[in-house]
Chain A
């Protein structure tokens, strides 16, 4: 269970190499073991140059996919996981765990403790999940709180030191690099008691606990007879427990009002010490029934120092917060569009913002728009072929608003106009972006009574809630739209 090497690569399309290695680290003692374990099938970890080239080709990140290349485009070359085999010098380096996120490629080569031919099943290789955890850890570290390139570069420059601590010999000790980075400041603290490895020091100061619940709602609305609309709430609960003592015992509970929607698919932070079986088995995979567990959801835990995600959940609320329809009719070079949006009465009508983005793909630039809105205002981004309907902070009393208009397009020029492989022909969507503070769609909340601390001193408790839209699509009901299996079954 170890890594032979790890890389951080920035993807730079348009440059000759299409990428630069920002950081790499090899583990020679693990490499030695690989040589022994893999026997005749052993392929050494290559130098950075050949590795970069092979990886970018395999990930389709070189700018040269104009022509059919069999080794990459063959129909039998099916990639179903983020684990690749890279052809290097006539041999195959496998398994290479790699993925692209935010323009960065994260890659590592886990040790496989047996021969590689034939490839053993991935599930039997312990280093695979460890490799993922290492790369996710790198990603979290680089992008937590990072805002610009300078900050990113500073963080990259910290990596050699951090990896020397978290992964000195290729065996990952802690995926939480941020924690280690903060923890360097705690190293001088002496530890009289048994200390968890994931807690670098101890908090000194006023006890306080903060809990914030963020719900994202996504939806696919079709306004069609034979296709059901779908929507789902995904919640994340983030906590920060500033409590004295090396291992304070805390229980945090989440509550639902009587008409709240049960939380399902709950995944908890590893610091949660035990879990009620009702929480563990409440799942969206099963059909909903009235007996669904509706809380309170209690999480006994020993909190780490830093802010952590106590749990994630999903929920199936009875109605989507905003129900809409979108119709597009093509009339020559013009599109006639109609949008209707209705806020459900149960939803808090107080937005931080609310916008409907109406993109037009695979067409020329917008040359002319005539429109009528019953509420809010419309902004036209001609070159981007985008309309943005700014609805503002509140829906009107009727809770229902309407937009109608005609949009005229100029000639299509391939380079500039946005391409989309979903919006072909009449297929089109509008996407809602909104945020409501101090509100959750499920009703889920935490309050002063939600935190039990088994330690001296009553902590100050602060709670926050918000609802955000995410992938909230309303599809043109006059044309085919991409569906999921779920929307056919309902």
Chain B
């Protein structure tokens, strides 16, 4: 395909710029990069078109060449295009150099293994240092701009790969003393110096003669990547260690400089500073930031070198220079600025924050700097905005807000005024006639008056509320300010209820110091002023925000009166929202009547349904549950209708949530009494649990269905009484009980959890026979014994005994069931096994290591269980 025409390119570039991602995803995206590189060499395209192609590659290399290899290829292609240019003046050389540099640096291809890097770096250095490149690279007229551009390219590469030019420091210093463009060279030297110091400090090495190193690699020679490789760790901030950023590893204290190195370094910095005035103001500022960083924390490098520059810098109207001086102040503090210097700097800053010759954004930035002023001896915590110690109300006179200011200026100045009010608290008591505080009051009143204008833009109202918020935040502990503010806001509401959303927002944002009293006055304001239509809508919205348990009588009366005017769905919803707020606040008295009335009276069926629902909830739900049911949903923003929010609240609150159980359940000691076996359950909880219901189910239906166990409240750390669970076995067999718990959390949610199953052992089912009359025990036992046969079965087994003998075993496990006892050798035991089986044991003629047991039961299926049980007894001890 031949080269595209100028028009096609213009259109293509336009589409690309409108949305690069869309273009690259489209059909033309794939070819763009290739076409661009090839058309740069086309003879049919004009230079301006080619420049616009290069401009695109300067801005969007990542889209054109998304990976390092593509970037490398592109840089090579751009360099080829550059060397192929005919030796006449061309507008393409500069942008080609810039584009090749950008492609390499942005594409991550810059490095010792990259062929393009190996071509570009010597080329740039050759051009920059004014060395003859031996090929008539460019016409003489272009040499100088190309030289400057080459320096810029090198600086950008050094920025992206710190240490890249570390080996050239000596060369750069040498060149700075000669002819040539001062600015790019100064900036590059300062940057390379700063980076070299930083990398060496990290490696705990000295400058190793870098400053005096003679020559740099020439074309074809090897580029020295050592320092750049060492600097591969994350790029370091250029900010001269602002106190807040100090903790990083930017400290240069680790750097050990020999006396000679220190001298050379000082000479290099002095050389740069001496030529500083030849730079544009913005470049001077950069140089100062870089050198400030380079010298900060470096031992044996007093910052006095900067001193001669300061007066000149402080006199100017340039924001960057003032900012750079502040950076030096932050970096060196007292070492560079005496107390008088500090005072002067502060004054210049105050001046810049209000000078009519400077634009508003500059004023605002200076005002910000004033409140973050790097003081020599700061008192307050670092990082928070505060008025510097030296800044008294006298100095600030010109910086105080007035209604005539732009909103941003007004807020910034208001902040300062608030800070002054805090400071002037004491002085005020002495009865100065015009204190900052009364000025503040007047200002707030003026803002409120403007916000009250019906036809005013919303920005005016917003400004008033922002100012109120700012004052409430800065002067939270000053009721003397907040009280009139509260009154003023109440008046504002009276004048313009349509600001209700702003009031609601303010109540959400401010602390209780303003929030509580404001809530009260707004509530009074609303209920004392019933309105209709538009005003009623706002009143209801306001009331939904401020209604709580207090003053419920007045609120309910207001609502009752309002109900008649709530003729549309929106108003009814607003009305119900207030009811909802009251429900949540736990208001009961009167509310039920109102809801019932609304359920019958409202025109809209939706409104009626809601009123009825609230009534039912009020009547049936306990308060915490009600709170959750009606609580605002976190998932959805509040809508005009409460329905959505409610649905989500209900869904959560009225449905059962699956949850991991905060409950531990275990079986306590066996209680052998009563008509049926009763399990003693022991419960522990990890968090408070209310209305706990434990449900059990028996596997294989061995027992009759079990009833649930209810516990009203359980708290962690407080042992609960054991819970009794009667079981009705259908067969006398051990079983596993599956356990589920239903409970309410402290937040009112109902949860459901599966607990680990409980194992009911064979012995847990044992019950004693009723106690026979005294003296008849032996007969009673014999009767039972005989009755087992013939349908039953008899067995004999050897039950091993532990060291404590038979007596201990019986007393521990069989005590409740012993009918006849002849300690220590003979016991007759009768066990009732529900539903209707028995197990009889004769333990007689015990020996030291065991006892023979004769065993009878009327249910032969019990036999293996009994055998296991007896054999297990010895093991259990």
Q: Which residues of A are in contact with B by a Cβ distance under 8 Å? A: 1-2, 24-29, 31-33, 36-37, 47-49, 60, 65-66, 68, 70, 72-83, 97, 99, 101, 113-114, 120-126, 128-130, 132-136, 160, 164, 168-169, 171-176, 187-188, 190-198, 216, 218, 232, 234, 236, 265-270, 272-275, 277, 279-281, 283-285, 287, 302, 309, 312, 314, 362, 414, 419, 421-422, 424, 482-486, 488-489
**Is A280 touching B357 in the complex (CB atoms < 8 A)?**
no
22 CB-based A-B contacts, threshold 8 Å: A68-B458, A75-B469, A78-B411, A126-B327, A128-B365, A132-B320, A133-B318, A136-B362, A171-B187, A174-B282, A175-B282, A188-B141, A196-B277, A267-B315, A267-B351, A268-B317, A270-B281, A280-B315, A280-B348, A362-B455, A424-B449, A482-B446
Q: Which residues of B contact A236 (CB under 8 A)?
A: 357
Name the residue on A nearest B348 (C-beta): A280
Question: Given A81-B364, A194-B182, A421-B453 in contact, is the A280-B314 Cβ separation under 8 Å?
Answer: yes
CB < 8 Å neighbour of A129 from B141, B285, B357, B360: B285
CB < 8 Å neighbour of A197 from B153, B160, B183, B355: B183
Q: Which residues of B contact A77 (CB under 8 A)?
A: 466
Q: Which residues of A contact B19 (CB under 8 A)?
A: 47-49
Name the residue on A nearest B275 (C-beta): A194
**Is A76 touching B320 in the complex (CB atoms < 8 A)?**
no
**Is A65 touching B459 in the complex (CB atoms < 8 A)?**
yes
**Is B404 touching A422 in the complex (CB atoms < 8 A)?**
yes
Bound Cα distance A128, B374 (Å): 17
- Residue-wise interface mask of B (58-92) relative to A, using a CB-CB cutoff of 8 A (1 in contact, 0 not): 11111000000000000000000000000000000
Does B278 belong to the interface (CB within 8 Å)?
yes
**Is B242 touching A123 in the complex (CB atoms < 8 A)?**
yes
CB < 8 Å neighbour of A114 from B95, B237, B453: B237
Nearest CB of chain A from residue B585's CB, rounded to whole Å: 24
Does B239 belong to the interface (CB within 8 Å)?
yes
**Is A75 touching B408 in the complex (CB atoms < 8 A)?**
no
Q: Which residues of B are in contact with A by a Cβ distance under 8 Å? A: 17-21, 52, 55, 58-62, 94-95, 98, 101-102, 105-106, 108, 141, 144-145, 149, 152-153, 155-156, 159-160, 179, 181-184, 187, 234-239, 242, 244-245, 248, 275, 277-286, 289, 311-312, 314-324, 326-327, 330, 344, 347-348, 350-352, 355-362, 364-365, 367-369, 372, 374, 383, 394-395, 397-398, 400, 402-404, 407-408, 411-412, 415, 434, 436, 439, 442, 446, 449-450, 453, 455-462, 465-466, 468-470, 501-502, 505-506, 509-510
Q: Which residues of B contact A121 (CB under 8 A)?
A: 242, 244, 372, 383
Nearest CB of chain B from residue A34's CB, rounded to whole Å: 10
Count of CB-CB pairs between chains A and B under 8 Å: 352
Question: Given A78-B470, A279-B315 in contact, is the A285-B242 Cβ separation under 8 Å?
Answer: no
Bound Cα distance A126, B94 (Å): 28
CB < 8 Å neighbour of A267 from B355, B361, B470: B355
Question: Given A66-B458, A68-B505, A196-B277 in contact, is the A36-B283 Cβ separation under 8 Å?
Answer: no
CB < 8 Å neighbour of A29 from B20, B105, B344, B436: B105
Nearest CB of chain B from residue A422's CB, rounded to whole Å: 6
**Is A283 touching B347 in the complex (CB atoms < 8 A)?**
yes
Bound Cα distance A76, B72 (Å): 49
Question: Given A129-B285, A275-B315, A489-B397 in contact, is the A414-B455 Cβ separation under 8 Å?
Answer: yes
Bound Cα distance A114, B318 (Å): 25
Q: Which residues of A contact B460 (CB under 8 A)?
A: 421
Nearest CB of chain A from residue B127's CB, rounded to whole Å: 15
Bound Cα distance A25, B372 (Å): 31
Which 4 pairs between the two chains have the least Cβ-Cβ distance? A124-B242, A312-B357, A267-B317, A197-B183
Q: Which residues of A contact B94 (CB under 8 A)?
A: 164
Bound Cα distance A65, B187 (Å): 47
Q: Which residues of A contact B17 (CB under 8 A)?
A: 24, 48
**Is A485 touching B402 in the complex (CB atoms < 8 A)?**
yes
Question: Given A77-B466, A113-B238, A485-B397 in contact, is the A422-B311 Cβ separation under 8 Å?
Answer: no
Bound Cα distance A176, B312 (Å): 20
**Given known contacts A32-B108, A136-B359, what 5 new A-B pairs fall within 8 Å (CB)?**
A68-B458, A120-B245, A171-B286, A314-B355, A485-B402
Q: Which residues of B contact A266 (CB under 8 A)?
A: 315
Question: Given A48-B17, A82-B408, A121-B372 in contact, is the A281-B344 Cβ separation under 8 Å?
Answer: yes
**Is A270 touching B237 in the complex (CB atoms < 8 A)?**
no
**Is B412 touching A80 in the complex (CB atoms < 8 A)?**
yes
Q: Which residues of B contact A81 (CB under 8 A)?
A: 361, 364-365, 367-368, 408, 412
Q: Which residues of A contact B145 (CB under 8 A)?
A: 187
Bound Cα distance A29, B61 (Å): 9
Chain B interface mostly? helix
Q: Output the residue of A123, A198, A422 with the most chain B CB within 10 A.
A: A123
**Is B280 touching A277 in the complex (CB atoms < 8 A)?**
no
Nearest CB of chain A from residue B823's CB, rounded to whole Å: 77
**Is B237 touching A285 in the complex (CB atoms < 8 A)?**
no
Q: Which residues of A contact B182 (CB under 8 A)?
A: 194-197
Bound Cα distance A192, B179 (Å): 8
Bound Cα distance A97, B84 (Å): 42
Q: Which residues of B contact A32 (CB under 8 A)?
A: 105-106, 108, 160
CB < 8 Å neighbour of B361 from A2, A125, A132, A196: A132
Bound Cα distance A1, B364 (Å): 20
**Is B318 touching A265 in the complex (CB atoms < 8 A)?**
no
Q: Which residues of B contact A191 (CB under 8 A)?
A: 144, 179
Bound Cα distance A77, B319 (Å): 26
Bound Cα distance A33, B52 (Å): 25
Bound Cα distance A36, B234 (Å): 7
Q: Output the residue of A28, A83, A190 with the most chain B CB within 10 A.
A: A28
Bound Cα distance A97, B319 (Å): 14
Nearest CB of chain A from residue B839's CB, rounded to whole Å: 70
**Is A123 touching B369 in the complex (CB atoms < 8 A)?**
yes
CB < 8 Å neighbour of A28 from B59, B404, B509: B59
Q: Output the residue of B18, B282, B322, B360 with the most chain A CB within 10 A.
A: B282
Q: Output the residue of B281, B284, B453 with the most chain A CB within 10 A.
A: B281
CB < 8 Å neighbour of B62 from A28, A135, A273: A28
**Is B397 touching A270 in the complex (CB atoms < 8 A)?**
no
Name the residue on B nearest A81 (C-beta): B364
Bound Cα distance A402, B98 (Å): 68
**Is A122 touching B365 in the complex (CB atoms < 8 A)?**
yes
**Is A65 touching B458 in the complex (CB atoms < 8 A)?**
yes
Q: Which residues of B contact A274 (CB under 8 A)?
A: 311-312
Q: Output the residue of B17, B149, B182, B402 with the most chain A CB within 10 A.
A: B402
**Is B462 touching A75 in the complex (CB atoms < 8 A)?**
yes
Q: Which residues of A contact B327 (CB under 8 A)?
A: 124, 126
**Is B316 touching A120 in the complex (CB atoms < 8 A)?**
no
Q: Which residues of B contact A68 (CB under 8 A)?
A: 458, 501-502, 505
Nearest CB of chain A from residue B139's CB, rounded to whole Å: 11
Name the residue on A nearest B61 (C-beta): A28
**Is A129 touching B323 in the complex (CB atoms < 8 A)?**
yes
**Is B465 touching A75 in the complex (CB atoms < 8 A)?**
yes
Question: Given A80-B412, A169-B156, A198-B280 in contact, is the A124-B245 Cβ separation under 8 Å?
Answer: yes
**Is A99 touching B361 in the complex (CB atoms < 8 A)?**
yes
Q: Output the residue of A33, A130, A267 with the most chain B CB within 10 A.
A: A267
Nearest CB of chain B from residue A490's CB, rounded to whole Å: 10
**Is B242 touching A120 in the complex (CB atoms < 8 A)?**
yes
Name the residue on A nearest B152 (C-beta): A168
Q: Output the residue of B145, B275, B286 with the most chain A CB within 10 A.
A: B286
Name the residue on A nearest B57 (C-beta): A28
Bound Cα distance A191, B183 (Å): 14
Q: Which residues of B contact A419 (CB under 8 A)?
A: 455-456
Q: Output the residue of A132, A193, A279, A422 with the most chain B CB within 10 A.
A: A132
Question: Given A68-B501, A280-B314, A485-B400 in contact, is the A174-B60 Cβ separation under 8 Å?
Answer: no
Name the residue on A nearest B369 (C-beta): A123
**Is A80 touching B361 in the complex (CB atoms < 8 A)?**
no
Bound Cα distance A193, B278 (Å): 12
Q: Output the residue of B21, B316, B344, B457 with the most chain A CB within 10 A.
A: B316
Nearest CB of chain A from residue B485's CB, rounded to whole Å: 13
